[in-house]
Structures are given as C-alpha cells and as structure tokens.
Structure 1
Amino acid sequence: MSRPLLITDCDEVLLHMVSHFRDWLDEAHGVDFDLSAGDYSRAVRRRETGEPLPREETWPLLNGFFETEMHRQTLVPHAREALTELASIADIVVLTNLLDEHQERRIAQLEAVGIQHRVLCNQGGKGTPVVQLLDEYAPSAAVFVDDLALHHASVEKAAPQVFRLHMVAEPELAAIMPPAPAAHARIDDWADAKGWIRARLTSGLDARTLPMIGESA
C-alpha cells in the first residue's frame, strides 16, 4: 500500500516571512506593512499617506524580498521536529507559492534549517498541483497544510478527499485571521498540529467524512 502524503506550505507554516518582510520594507524602502490589515493586497502602504500600494508596485517588492532577503526568514517553532516525526509514516512535499526561479534558493533555505523534503514551486491556486501530486503518489491518505483560506478553497474544489489544516504560524496574523471555511481544522502550532495530522494520515478515511469549518460554524 502507498504511504500517506503530507503537502505543506512554507511561508508562515514552516518559515516566518511577513514580519521579516515588514522589517525589510521599513529598512530598505521606507514603506509600511500593516499586519492588522489582514488582506495582504492592502497591507503594504505608503508611509506618507497611509494609502495601500497598487498591486503593480507591491508584487515587485515581494519578489525582491525572495530574490535577496530569504536569509532573514526564521524557522517556525516545532516545525522541523514535527516533520521529522511525520516523515516516519508519510511522504512530505513542500508546495510553496514562489516563482520557479526561486526554487533552488528555497530548497537551500529549508535544508539550512534541517528540513529536507521535496519542494515544488507554484503560482496561483494550489488545487491543480495537489491533484497532480495525488496522481503521482497515489497515497493512502493526504493532508494539506496552508495559511491562506483561498488555497484551502482551491484544494477543496479540486481534491475534496484531502484533509485540510489551516495553520497561521505568525502570532500577529493568527490573532486576526479567521479560520478558513474550507479547512477541516485550524491549529497554529506544530506541537499540537502533528497529532491531528498523524491521526488523519493513518485513519484510512476520506476527508469528506469530516465537516469543514464553514459547515460546523
């Protein structure tokens, strides 16, 4: 029988990102990043006016961070230990929304903190790449972990049989970000999440047997 499969995001799941992005924007660009905005598209603001930067100015800044500043990112507590434990029972793939040109940097970045698993870059919704991974691995069960509700919705639509865990490792964001309706659970600490993940990976059940957060609210 095939092994179970854990598909996990990277930024704000395995590595802290937004707090370091905020510091870099302040130091290098004199731009504010308002974590309390919740909506990333409105979080980057002109210091002089408080107005959100348009998307065409925000995305180059984000890409610039990943080009030169990934060394700033720090490991989320308990992430490495949880993955090490879960790797004994499951295959693990890191599915990260980055331009493909950053893939080798992301692999090296994760290896430097002791996380050595397959890394795939993606742009857009994660439903399609999750389906492709299911076709490739044919796992006995699968769990998807991500910090963004839109990706849980994408996976729920494309692969509803996958268990979905909403995790927001940045405390400032976790305090204001509501649980993703299309996820089955919200757990923000790997020390607690690993037990939930292990139980789903070894259950032999289809995720459609569990209510989603939006259904149980």
Structure 2
Amino acid sequence: MKGLNNLTFRYLQYYNIVQRLQKQGIASVTSHNLASLCNITASQLRKDFMHLSIQGINKVGYQVLDLLVALEKKVKKDEETPLILVGAGSFGTALINYNNFKTQGFDIVAAFDIDFENKQNFKIPVMHIDDCSSFIKEHNIKLAILTVPEKVAQHTARKLVDAGIDKILNLTPEILNLPSNITVNNINIVIELEYLFLSAINSDNKKKK
C-alpha cells in the first residue's frame, strides 16, 4: 500500500480486531492470541505495542479497553473523511449499503454511474458519471473508490485525478497507470482468492513432508 508505512498499517489492523473483541464483551487478550488473529508473530506485536505506552499483565495479557484507547490515538481521525464511489453496480451498491464506513470515519457522500437513473432509491445521491469532475471540485473530494468495468477503469481514474482526486481504492482488475504523487491501493478479489488457495496448498504440502 503506497504511502502507508507497515507500522501504521498494523496499527489499523490491531484497532479493527480489538474493536471486534470489545463488541464481543472480551475484557483482555494475550499477545499470542491477538497476534494469531492479526496473522503476525507475538514478538512483532509486542514490539509494536512498545510505542503505545501500554503494558500487558503476566498470564492475563492486555486490557481490551486500554488497547482500544491507545490505538485510537494512533489511527482515529478527528473528522469524517468524505469520499465518492465511482461505479454503482452490484459491487458498488453493496459498498454503499455497508454501514461500517461511518463508524470508521468515512462518509460516502455520492456515487456516480452511467445507469444513474435506475439508482435513485439509494441512501446517497447517484449521479451520471460525467458529473463527477464538477462534484469533486465543488466539494474538494480527495478520495475515491473505483468499481467500474475493467475496460474503462484507466480512463475513469485519469478523469478523477484530473478533477483533484489524489487517493484511489481500486477494486477493478486493471492496474492503473497514474502519476507518482497519486496514492492507489489495488485490491483484486480474484488474485486474493488465488493467493489464499495457493497458500493453503503450500501449507498442506509442508505438513505432508
């Protein structure tokens, strides 16, 4: 993920996991258990937590509430970040209806699609994709989620950048070619599934040896 150091990324991961533990009513968690949930080593986790000014209790672990407060100081934003979604098909619609964006400090303020006329019952405004440039400029939007068809992804991303977007979560299979000052996070679900599949095969092969 360009523009985000590994420690900050892990803090985000810790924060999301600890939030879930709190919602489940769990009061404490050991470094080994939390590390396992985050798919890292316990030694790496303890090293990261040295920067939090928080200590675990022997045989008990870390207090979940204390962890949550400490991690919030590292990752929580003071204000909601407005963003737009470009491509309101089935995938985009699911993202629009995902309630956790708000709880994490993100607000999808508008969506854009060619077939905008059939999407007027959404909980946010859905406009024609040709209107996205003026909307971005008028509202000073800097972050966009891209879920358009692969064949138009590059052209659409370029249009977003020209309008002022400098951070894109790219959920299309297309690898975007954009200026180096633009932060892009590419997530290809098929590749992620292939990675999981191959990881499972490699793990099984190691067990057989």
Q: Fold match, TM over 0.5?
A: no
Structure with bigger gyration radius: 2
Q: TM-score, normalised by structure 1?
A: 0.29
Higher relative contact order (CA 8 A, sep 6+): 1
Structure with bigger helix share is 2
